Amino acid sequence: MAKARRAMERDVKLVDVVIELLDARAPLSTENPDIRRITKGKKRLILLNKSDLADKGVTSAWIKRFKAEGCEVVALDARSNSSMGLVKEAIGRLAEEKRARDREKGIKERAVRALICGIPNVGKSTFINSLCKRASAKTGDKPGVTKGTQWLKVSAEFELLDTPGVLWPKFDDERTGTNLALIGAVNEEILNKEELCIELLDYLIKNYPGLLDERYVLSETEIHEKLAEYETKVTALGVNKRALAYMELTAKKRGCIKKGAEADFERAAKLITDDFKTGRMGRISLEKAE
């Protein structure tokens, strides 16, 4: 970890622009505070990646918020080429000041250099592949640059450091860990699947009312009955009865049944969290830009 940080501290000195990938569904949880510290003072382009899985309205609010902080922002599906033009334009805008300075000093114009960074699994490799589709030839060592540094030539005006900066996410609080597990940024095995599912269900019930009912074809009557059953049966404090009622109903609807017709909560939890992660549940954001 310290090694990755040091590598990024060294690499950031070589570039004009830092491109940080965040997951559009949870931009705060996927932002590593060390990256922000290390790249301080550099021009920043934030890519809200996997935006095909995120809530469009919420993503627009995030774009506004990051722009207000002085960054360029592009919402992206890194698997597709379609937004790469926007990315190049944003980089052009970030580099404009530097280009003007170079021109004034009579320095010959050279390509803008950028470093990609982000936590694992956020889509860095996918993005680099899409961006460099045609011209991914390595440009090799450059004089004056750390030996061994390779640059990918994206266009005549734009080069990319070929090794992205990878830092692990920070688990500042429980919510961050939950979000990272739900979007698949960390191995969910480290967390209890059923608890993870309860957190997701609780969030969806509050923020996307009706979504679960529709996805799992649950009627209002069914939900009310099951909830009433939990209210009388479960008296322990701190138990999320509403989420549990949804999980049990979904288990039964989807055939997650154990011997004796009991709901298999573990299987239901996996099914529900997978439906979210893969986008089958629809476009959902876990963090809002308030």
Ligand X SMILES: Nc1nc2c(ncn2[C@@H]2O[C@H](COP(=O)(O)OP(=O)(O)O)[C@@H](O)[C@H]2O)c(=O)[nH]1
9 binds ligand X (CB under 6 A): no
Minimum CB distance to ligand X, residue 268 (Å) = 24
* 79 is a site residue for ligand X (CB under 6 A): yes
Contact flag: residue 85 with ligand X (CB under 6 A): no
Q: How many residues are given for the chain?
A: 290
Question: According to the binding rule CB under 6 A, does residue 43 interact with ligand X?
Answer: no
Q: State yes or no: residue 131 binds ligand X (CB under 6 A).
A: no
| Segment interacting with ligand X (CB under 6 A) among 29-37, 54-62, 115-123, 147-155 | 115-123
Q: Where are the alpha helices (DSSP H) in 184-255?
A: 193-207, 211-215, 220-233, 241-253
Q: Which is nearer to ligand X, 77 or 248 (CB)?
A: 77
Q: Which residue has the tokens 């559009």?
A: 24
Q: What is the 3-state secondary structure (H, E, C) of 72-112?
A: EEEECCCCCCCCHHHHHHHHHHHHHHHHHHHHHCCCCCCCE
Q: Does 77 bind ligand X (CB under 6 A)?
A: yes
Shorter beta-carbon distance to ligand X: residue 51 or 250: 51
Give the tokens for residue 112. 């803008």
Nearer to ligand X, 186 or 249 (CB): 186
Q: Does 50 interact with ligand X (rule: CB under 6 A)? A: yes
CA–CA distance, 127 with 154 (Å, rounded to integer): 12
Q: Which stretch binds Mg ion (CB under 5 A): 80-88, 121-129, 145-153, 261-269?
A: 121-129
Q: Which is nearer to ligand X, 121 or 179 (CB)?
A: 121
Angle at 284 between CA 118 and CA 62, to 5 degrees: 55
Q: Measured from the CB atom, is 124 or 242 closer to Mg ion?
A: 124
Closer residue to ligand X in complex, CB, 53/111: 53
Give the C-alpha separation, 30 to 170, whole Å: 8
Those residues with Cβ within 8 angstroms of residue 46's Cβ, 6 or more apart along the chain or in another chain: 20, 22, 27, 66, 71, 72, 73, 74
Residue with tokens 């510290």: 37
Of all residues in this chain, which one has the CB nearest to ligand X in the complex?
Answer: 123
Which of 60, 81, 82, 125 is the binder for Mg ion (CB under 5 A)?
125
Cα separation, 31 vs 176, in Å, equals 10
- Characterize 87-97 residue by residue with b for buried, 16 or more Cβ atoms within 10 angstroms of its Cβ, and e for exposed: bbebbbebbee
Contact between 113 and ligand X per CB under 6 A: no
Q: Which does 120 bind (CB under 5 to 8 A by kind): Mg ion, ligand X, none?
A: ligand X
Residue of the chain from 27, 46, 75, 123 that contacts ligand X (CB under 6 A)? 123
Which residue bears the tokens 């890194």?
A: 78
Residues that bind ligand X (CB under 6 A): 49-50, 52-53, 76-79, 118, 120-126
